[in-house]
Amino acid sequence: MRRQGIRSAPRRRIGWVAGCLLLLVACVVPATPAVGTVPVQPWPVPALGRPTFELPSGGPRATIAAGERARQRRMLSITTEGDGQVTTGDGRVVCGRCSELYVRGSVAVVEAQPAAHSEFARWTGDCVGSATRCAVMMDRGAHVRAVFTRVLRYVDVTVSGPGTIVSQPPGIRCGASGNVCGARFGEDTVVQLSSEAASGGAFDSWGDDCHGRPAGPCPLVVGSRDDATAAFRRLEPAPDASTLSVTTLTSGTRVTSTPPGINCPPACNASFAVGTEVTLAAPFASWGGSCQGASTTCRLIVDGPTDVSVGVPLPSARSAYGVNVSVSGPGLISGGPIRCGTATGRLLDCEHLFYIGTTLVLRAVPARRFAGWSGGFCSGRSPTCSIRVTAPKTILARFRR
């Protein structure tokens, strides 16, 4: 039995191989169809050959390269506070809140652009300073924030006689019951000036930017500079001509009047008919007595004995220009009163007025992390920059992080 089993194994193997060959022939060579029958198509057999595989577009090398490029990019995030936007020198960013990718190690120069009636105040985040431009070293992700504020303009009031002028919004109270005769308001703001007569007085008239207004409130739309004058009169004027007396508080100050009469010194007293409107003129000065305010003129009603004093004119300041510094990265720029950096100092340390002709030496600390200057007035990578103040100047400095 054992020998027969051994001998029968090859026969079974030969039969199995023959059956496979017959099946292969039947699949590959179609039989001739009988007359009147529909031919049956064989199953398709794939051609023999090397197997093929489809790879993603670009292949693994492109995928690796894309990942490497992503690792070499750094994100610059920008936000704003107030009314304005930020742009970059390459034109890739114009926004109030956005972000953009930059090649690692490149420099992105951001610039703050205020909207109408706004002004740029300062940078926060990875930029410090009040210069409108800042150069950001993109050695890692950075975030800068531009702060905008409303443009503020001065409104000045000069008041004479028994009364007071007050403003809404609050800020001015000038005349018999107050000596705050000037204040700053947001540009394009409507400031309402109203009169308050003192006991025994009455409002007479407006002048300057309120000229021609009726006796009621005067609305001023704040522009580059606004001035208003107001005159009050006595309810019971003197019966006869009255004397106007002017006192100068410093030598060299000259005061004149329209109509003529005062030319002080030496003619510091003059008599005018009751109810005469007199305008006193002097170099920009501080008025006192029956006039309150700071301006070149004071308009008053002479309807009784009237005394006016004229303070020291504001001295003419020597011409000066501003130097503004902005810094990005962990470093400090110092020179004279300027001490500007992302981790030290206050905002005012980043700007200062210098007399024309002043030589200012700026130093970058630490020098080993200093990446370079830009802005036109300082350039290169030397940690020291010397400038001569001949015009307003903006200096940009950047440090590696």
pLDDT value, residue 160: 94
Check residue 329 and give its pLDDT. 85
Q: Is the pLDDT of residue 33 over 60?
A: no
CB count in 10 Å sphere of residue 338: 22
User: How high does pLDDT run on average in the chain?
Assistant: 81
- Residue 162 is predicted with a pLDDT of 95
Write the pLDDT tens digit of every residue in 123-147: 989 998 888 999 998 988 999 999 9
What pLDDT score does 191 carry?
94
- Rounded to whole angstroms, the Cα distance separating 281 from 298 reads 7
Q: Averaged over 153-169, what is the pLDDT?
A: 93
- Do the two domains 73-150 and 151-236 of this chain adopt the same fold? yes
pTM above 0.75, yes or no: no
Report the pLDDT value the prediction gives residue 351, as an integer from 0 to 100: 86
The whole-number pLDDT of residue 57 equals 53
DSSP state of 266: T
Domain at 73-150, CATH class: mainly beta
Mean pLDDT of 58-78: 66
Compute the distance between CA of residue 114 and CA of residue 92 in angstroms, rounded to an integer: 18
Per-residue pLDDT band for 154 (boundaries 50, 70, 90) equals: confident
Question: For residue 366, what pLDDT is reported?
Answer: 87
| Residue 318: other Cβ atoms inside 10 A | 7
Range 362-371 average pLDDT: 89
Answer yes or no: CATH 3.30.70 is held by domain 151-236: no
Tell me the C-alpha distance between 185 and 163, whole Å: 23
**CB environment 293-316: b (16+ within 10 A), e (fewer):** bbbebbbbbbbbebebbbeebeee
Cβ pair 298, 280 in contact under 8 A: yes
Tokens of 378: 């300082």
Inter-CA distances, 203 with 150, 192, 220, 227, Å: 33, 16, 18, 18
Q: Per-residue pLDDT tens for 171-204? A: 999 999 888 998 889 888 999 999 999 999 999 9
- Model pLDDT, residue 352: 85
Flag whether pLDDT at 91 surpasses 60.
Answer: yes
| Structure confidence at residue 5 (pLDDT) | 43
- Say which residue, 303 or 17, is predicted with more confidence: 303
Helix (H) or strand (E) run with residue 27 in it = helix 2-28
Q: How far apart are CA 104 and CA 94, in angstroms?
A: 21
Q: Give me the pLDDT at residue 27, please.
A: 43
Q: What residue spans define the domains of the chain?
A: 73-150, 151-236, 239-316, 320-399
